[in-house]
Structure 1
Amino acid sequence: MTTTIMRTTARVTVPIVLVLSISLFLQGHNLPGGGFIGGVLTTAALVLIYVAYDLDYLESGVLGQEVESGTSIFEHRTVLAYRRTLLLGLLVVFGSGVAGFLVGDPFLTQTYVHLEGVPIYHEVELASALVFDLGVFLVVVGSLLTIVSVVSAE
């Protein structure tokens, strides 16, 4: 059982960490950062939620679903979702690497496009490295949360 102070701290800290995670993820194709550090920070925020509440909080408290008792941690719906996230990330990373082959370029060839007339920002540069970073982000989040969930259940 955790304290009220821990839960209050988690409620304040988690949104700040998630915003920082998104910021580092989005700047990754131009500056240091990207999918890996964004994934690690997202995982840290979710682990903080697990410490303050528990693994079943996401299903019972947020999604309103009944948690099945007596199932193995490997069969837990949340852990299965983390494993699917890991696999989706691997597919995105592989797909972003192979995409260059479709236009006759080498593996992992990156390109970019400038979008003009975007509200607030006026001009935005979208790089294909962002897709690769998204795959890395999903792999990091899926694998680390699977490891944390399995280890914490032991």
Structure 2
Amino acid sequence: MTTTITRTTIRVTVPIVLVLSIWLFLQGHNLPGGGFIGGVLTTTAFVLIYVAYDLDYLESDVLDRDVDPGTSIFEHRTVTAYRRMLLAGLAVVVGSGVAGILVGDPFLTQTYVHFEHVPIYHEVELASALVFDLGVFLVVVGSLLTIISVVSGE
């Protein structure tokens, strides 16, 4: 059983960790960071929630789904969603690599596009590496949360 102090601290900490993970994810194609570290930090935020509340809290209170107490952890809807996230991430990673081949470039060739006169930012550079980082992010979050959920459920 966790204390009120732990739960309150986690309610404050988790949004900060998620914002930091998004920031690291978005800067990854130009500076250190990207899909892997963003995924690890996102997983850390979920682990903090699991420590304070439990896996069923996410299912029943956040997602408003009924939880069957006799359900195996492998059949848990949240764990199934994590496995689907892992598979979607693998598809995005492979798709971003194959995209270069489709236009006649080598596998995993990356490019970028500049957008000018963007409100607030003035100029934005979008790199195709962001798609690859998204795939890595999904693989990391999906695999780590599946492992953590299954191990903690046993």
Match of 2:130 in 1: 130
1:85-144: CA deviation from partner (whole Å, max 9, x where unpaired):
000000000000000011100000000000112111010000000000000000000000
Q: Alignment partner of 1:117: what SS?
A: strand
* Over 6 Å off, 4+ runs: none
2: CA distance between counterparts of 1:100 and 1:58? 39
Structure 2 spans left out of the alignment, 5+ residues: none
1: CA distance between counterparts of 2:149 and 2:13? 21
1:35 maps to a residue whose letter is G
How high is the TM-score relative to the length of structure 2?
0.99
Q: How many residues align?
A: 154
| Residue 48 of structure 1 pairs with residue 48 of structure 2 | yes
2: CA distance between counterparts of 1:124 and 1:55? 39
Q: Alignment partner of 1:115: what SS?
A: strand
| Residue 34 of structure 1 pairs with residue 28 of structure 2 | no
Structure 1 spans left out of the alignment, 5+ residues: none
RMSD: 0.6
1: CA distance between counterparts of 2:60 and 2:129? 37
Q: Percent identity?
A: 86
1: CA distance between counterparts of 2:73 and 2:152? 10
How high is the TM-score relative to the length of structure 1?
0.99
1:41-62: CA deviation from partner (whole Å, max 9, x where unpaired):
0000000000010001111111
Q: Which residues of 2 match residues 110-129 of structure 1 at below 5 A?
A: 110-129=110-129
